[in-house]
Structure formats: C-alpha cells, structure tokens
C-alpha cells in the first residue's frame, strides 16, 4: 500500500425531509449566494423547500449554470460576488452546479486570469466557503474537492482540485431522485460506477480494504440500477443509489492505491468537442481502456471479473474478455449506447484528441502508462 494522508471535512446530512435543516447549518449575518441550474429545482419542489428554509437569511440568487458549467457564465457570478460582498455560496443542483460553485469560490479572491485556476490547478489564497443541496447523484462533488469546468468558446474542459473547496456540508435528500429523467439517472449510474473503476482497476498493490470497499460500491450500483431506472422508484432504491454515488468519489476508496482516470480525461475531450454528456463519454471509452490496457491491468481485471460479476470459467484471457463484455453490457442495460459511431463521432474526433494530447504532452493512467498513442488505440477500439 502507498503512503497516504486522508481527511474529508464535509458534513453529510442525509435523508427524507433534510432540506429543512439548511437553517440549522447556515450562519445569519452573512450574504449568501444561492446558485442553481436551468430550472429543474423550480419544477420539482426543491427550490420552494430551500427558500422556505432560508427565510430570514440574506440571500441573492444566481441561476442558469448549465450542464458542464461554463467559464463565461461562472465569471458573471464571480463579478456579482465581488460587487456585493458575498460571504457564503450555497449550490442547489447536480455536479455541474456544485462544480461551478467551487470555481466561483476559488475565483472571487483570485488575482490574475481566472482560467489559470484550471490550467495551473491553483486557487485564490482564500476561497469562499460553500455548501450544497444535491439534486442529482452522480459526481460525488457534494463530498469531494474537485471541479470540472468547460469553456465553450475554446472547446476546452479541465478539472481542478483543492482542499479549500470541499463543501462545508451537503444535504442529500433521496426524494430529489424522483424527478430526474431516465437518461440522466443512467448517466449518474455509469459515472459513479466508473469513478470506482478509475480508483480500482489499476495494478494490484495489496490493498484489500480499498478493493472490497470498491467492489461493494460497484455491486450496489449494479443491483440498484434497475430499481432506480423505473418511472417511480421506491425510496430505498433512491437512497442506496444516492449514497453509493457519493461513496464512489468521496476519497474513501483512493487512499493508498494507484489511480487511473484516463477514461475520464479522454471523456472530457469528447464532451468538449462533441457536447456529449459526461456519463455517456465514459461508457463509450471504458471498454476501450480495459481492452488496450489489459496486460497492465490483468491482475485487477481478473479480481473484478470474479468479485463483481462472478466470472471464473475459462483462461485468464477469456475471463478478461468476458469482464469487458459484462461491463459494456451493464452500460447498455442502462440505455446508454457505447460506440462513437452511435453519436456520429468519427476519425476526425480521434485525430483531434490525439493531436491535443500530443501537443500538451499529456500522459495518463497509473504510472503515466496511457500515452497519446494508447489514447488513439483506445478510441479506435470504440468507433
């Protein structure tokens, strides 16, 4: 096991009716900016619950943060925070709203070009504190220190991370899941599953606690998926999906293990260039990553095959093939198409990603083993 330091400061407030607890966890006397997305919270009752809980607080609103939050939109919020002396940010939404709010928190006091927060992975000395009311289980952003920001003007998408942008608290009421459209639930299930994969499917360095935890989260996602995807899911299914998605990327799995994240980095390019949903890009790329990196990941793919899918029959190579097939079938069972050609993306997209990674000198994966050449092979596999 590798050396590690671990601290996750986010308080989780979980369960039915917990949005009302906002008032017990916020301080009066500070100007709060409530951020949200395109308006789903106004249709499903979340907005009304939040506003009720915030009665008596000094709150301004900033709506319109889009899926794959855009730098130019977020800079408008940064400007308002500076002008109005906002002291606390409350994100009400999915990963995009929470990530966008983390960027606002990191940018308000930043001296310099705020895009550097993404390109130089830096933040202001002092970031604004933030909290969240999660409406969409998927990214784990509600309990982690990462954010991914898009810039449509340049067709770019980059991430940053800082301990200064952990939410102080996050409210997770599983009843928000009832209103999520089916394809968004599918995206969230695929995304959270692949978060676990990125921290698990690397090389085996004898980390049984992390591995059994990871397998437990993946099996929960697989078992819960059909129960969540129905039109009227029951509360327990929503609760288990929500907690699994948080645990997939709140850094409980990653201490002491080697991590990959190449599927994510390639996926971000597909979103930036083709506008595909985050979860969809991952479901397209992952089978290619597994196939092209099968030698380097052999021990872990065999462990995954046995412990997650119960595949034990055949030679090692046959077991690996079956595990890749089972993984792709799982994504397809969610209703996600898993080929680039399903989305009219072809050779020109692969060439553009190859060129971008070559120019940036990008190396990905555990130990930097996924070069731009490997990225090309991974994407060719997905045509």
Phi (first) and psi of residue 90, to 5 degrees: -120, 110
Phi, psi of 62 (to 5 degrees): -135, 105
**Using CB under 5 A, which of the segments 42-50, 185-193, 285-293, 363-371 binds Zn ion?**
185-193
191 part of the interface to Zn ion, by CB under 5 A: yes
Stretch that binds Zn ion, among 129-137, 186-194, 206-214, 367-375 (CB under 5 A): 186-194
Determine which residue in the list 12, 49, 93, 127 makes contact with ligand NZQ, applying CB under 6 A: 93
The verdict on 277 binding Zn ion (CB under 5 A) reads no
Determine whether 123 is exposed, middle or buried from the number of CB atoms within 10 Å of its CB (0-12, 13-18, 19+): buried
Question: Nearer to Zn ion by C-beta: 198 or 328?
Answer: 198
Encoded one letter per residue, x for contact with ligand NZQ by CB under 6 A and - for no contact, window 282-321 reads ----------------------------------------
Q: Per CB under 6 A, which region of 138-146, 295-303, 324-332, 368-376 contacts ligand NZQ?
A: 138-146
**Which SS3 state, helix, strand or coil, does residue 140 take?**
coil
Within 13 Å and on the Cβ side, how many CA atoms surround 174? 19
* Residue 242 sits in the site that holds ligand NZQ (CB under 6 A): no
Binding of ligand NZQ by 349 (CB under 6 A): no
Which of 26, 89, 90, 136 contacts ligand NZQ by CB under 6 A?
A: 136
Report the alpha-carbon distance of residue 318 to residue 320 in Å, rounded: 5
Shortest Å distance, C-beta 379 to ligand NZQ: 18
Residue ranges of the alpha helices (H) in the chain? 22-25, 40-43, 46-53, 71-84, 95-107, 116-119, 182-200, 208-229, 235-248, 262-274, 278-292, 298-309, 316-333, 347-360, 372-380
Distance CA 100, CA 336 (A): 26
Q: Is 96 in the site for ligand NZQ (CB under 6 A)?
A: yes
**Rule CB under 6 A: is residue 167 a binding residue for ligand NZQ?**
no
Q: How far apart are CA 333 and CA 238, in angstroms?
A: 18
Contact with ligand NZQ (CB under 6 A): which of 89, 148, 305, 319? 148
Q: Minimum Å distance from CB 271 to Zn ion?
A: 10
Pairing, β 156-161 against β 146-151: antiparallel
Select the residue interacting with ligand NZQ from 37, 167, 287, 288 (CB under 6 A).
37
Angle between helices 372-380 and 347-360 (to 10 degrees): 170
Q: Does 174 bind ligand NZQ (CB under 6 A)?
A: no
Residue 345 within binding range of ligand NZQ, rule CB under 6 A:
no
123 belongs to the binding site for ligand NZQ (CB under 6 A)? no
Region for residue 186 given its phi and psi (left: phi exceeds 0; alpha: psi -120 to 50; beta: otherwise): alpha
In the DSSP assignment, the letter for residue 28 is: T
To the nearest whole angstrom, how small is the minimum distance from the Cβ of residue 141 to Zn ion?
A: 9
Q: Which stretch binds ligand NZQ (CB under 6 A): 39-47, 121-129, 234-242, 327-335?
A: 39-47
Residue 112 φ/ψ, nearest 5 degrees: 130, -170
Interface with ligand NZQ by CB under 6 A: which residues?
A: 37-41, 44, 67-68, 93-97, 99, 135-136, 138-141, 144, 146-148, 176, 179-180, 184, 187-188, 191, 249, 264, 278
Interface with Zn ion by CB under 5 A: which residues?
A: 191
């Amino acid at each position: 096991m590798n050396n590690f330091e671990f601290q996750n400061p986010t308080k989780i407030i979980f369960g039915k009716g917990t949005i009302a607890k906002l008032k017990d966890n916020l301080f009066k006397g500070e100007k709060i900016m409530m951020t949200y997305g395109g308006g789903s919270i106004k249709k499903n009752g979340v907005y009304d619950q939040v506003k009720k809980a915030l009665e008596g607080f000094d709150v301004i609103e900033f709506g319109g943060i889009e899926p794959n939050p855009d730098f130019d939109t977020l800079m408008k919020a940064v400007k308002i925070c500076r002008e109005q002396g906002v002291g606390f940010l409350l994100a009400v939404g999915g990963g995009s709203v929470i990530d966008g709010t983390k960027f606002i928190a990191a940018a308000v006091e930043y001296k310099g070009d705020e895009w550097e927060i993404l390109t130089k992975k830096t933040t202001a000395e002092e970031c604004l504190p933030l909290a969240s009311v999660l409406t969409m289980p998927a990214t784990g952003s509600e309990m982690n220190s990462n954010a991914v920001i898009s810039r449509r003007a340049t067709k770019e998408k980059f991430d940053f991370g800082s301990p200064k942008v952990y939410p102080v608290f996050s409210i997770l009421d599983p009843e928000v899941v009832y209103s999520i459209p089916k394809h968004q639930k599918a995206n969230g299930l695929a995304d959270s599953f692949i978060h676990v994969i990125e921290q698990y499917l690397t090389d085996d360095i004898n980390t049984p606690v992390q591995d059994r935890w990871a397998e437990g989260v993946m099996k929960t996602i697989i078992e819960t998926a059909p129960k969540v995807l129905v039109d009227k899911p029951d509360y327990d299914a929503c609760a288990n999906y929500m907690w699994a998605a948080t645990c997939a990327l709140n850094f409980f799995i990653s201490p002491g293990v080697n991590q990959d994240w190449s599927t994510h980095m390639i996926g971000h390019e597909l979103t930036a260039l083709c506008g595909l949903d985050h979860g969809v890009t991952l479901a397209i790329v992952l089978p290619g990553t597994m196939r092209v990196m099968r030698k380097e990941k052999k021990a872990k793919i065999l462990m995954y095959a046995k412990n997650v899918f119960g595949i034990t029959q055949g030679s090692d190579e046959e077991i690996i093939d079956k595990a890749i097939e089972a993984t792709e079938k799982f994504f397809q069972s969610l209703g996600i198409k898993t080929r680039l050609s399903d989305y009219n993306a072809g050779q020109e997209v692969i060439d553009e990603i190859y060129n971008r990674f070559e120019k940036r000198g990008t190396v990905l994966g555990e130990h930097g083993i996924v070069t731009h050449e490997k990225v090309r092979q991974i994407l060719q596999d997905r045509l």
